[in-house]
Amino acid sequence: MGASGSLWACITLFQKFRNSWIRCAKSWRCSVIKNASSVLFQRTILDHARKPRGFGELEAPTLLGSGVNELCGDEVRISAEIRGEVVAQLRCVSVGCLLCRASASMMCEWVPARTLSECYIGEKRLRALVAGLTETCAPLPTQFLAFKDLRALPQREKCALLPWSTLIKALEDYNIISRLPRPARQ
C-alpha cells in the first residue's frame, strides 16, 4: 500500500505540473502569435544593425553632416552626393546602439534616388510613427514599422531618429549654402 500510495502521489504531482505546463504553453503560444510582428521587427532591426547598408563615407561628398546623442553616446556621420534636387548617394557611419545603427542602415537604403523634399517628408513620417501617429505613416516602407513600438520607450526615440535628424540638419545647411549667390569669376 505504501508503494502504490507514493506512486499515486507521483501521478497526481505529474498531472498538476502537466496541467500547469499546458496552461503555460498555451499562453506562451498566444503571446508568440500576438508578438509575431514584434519578433519580425526585432529581426529587421538586428539584421540592419549587424549588416548595415550604406556604411562608410563617400570620397567626394557634396553634403556632410554629423550628430551626437548625448543621452547614450550614439554618433552619426553622413556623407551624400546631391545632384540637383536628388540625393544620388548616401553613406553613413553610425557608432552606437542597435536602434541608431539600424535606423541609419534603413535610411541609407531608402534615401538614394529621392528628392530633398521626399527626405524631409520621410523624416517627418518616421517621427510621427515613433510618436504613435501611425495613420500618417502609410507611405513608409514596412521595415520602418520596426520602430513603431518605441513610443513605449520615449528615451530611445532619439536613438532611432538621430540619423534622420542629422540628415535633415545637413540638408538644411546644404539648402542655405546652395542658395547663396555665387561669387563672379574673374
Q: What is the pLDDT of residue 147?
A: 84
> pTM higher than 0.85, yes or no?
no
Q: What is the pLDDT of residues 152-179, one digit of tens each?
A: 887 888 999 999 999 999 999 888 666 6
Average pLDDT across the chain, whole number: 78
pLDDT in tens, 27-71: 333 333 344 446 556 888 888 888 889 999 999 999 999 999 988
Residue range 48-178 in CATH 3.90.1010.10 = yes
Please state the domain extents for the chain: 2-34, 48-178
The grid coordinates of residue 93 equal: 557611419
94-106 average pLDDT score: 91
Helix 98-110 vs helix 36-50: crossing angle, to nearest 10: 80
Side-by-side strand order, sheet with 86-95: 63-68, 75-83, 86-95, 114-115
Residue 31, pLDDT score: 36
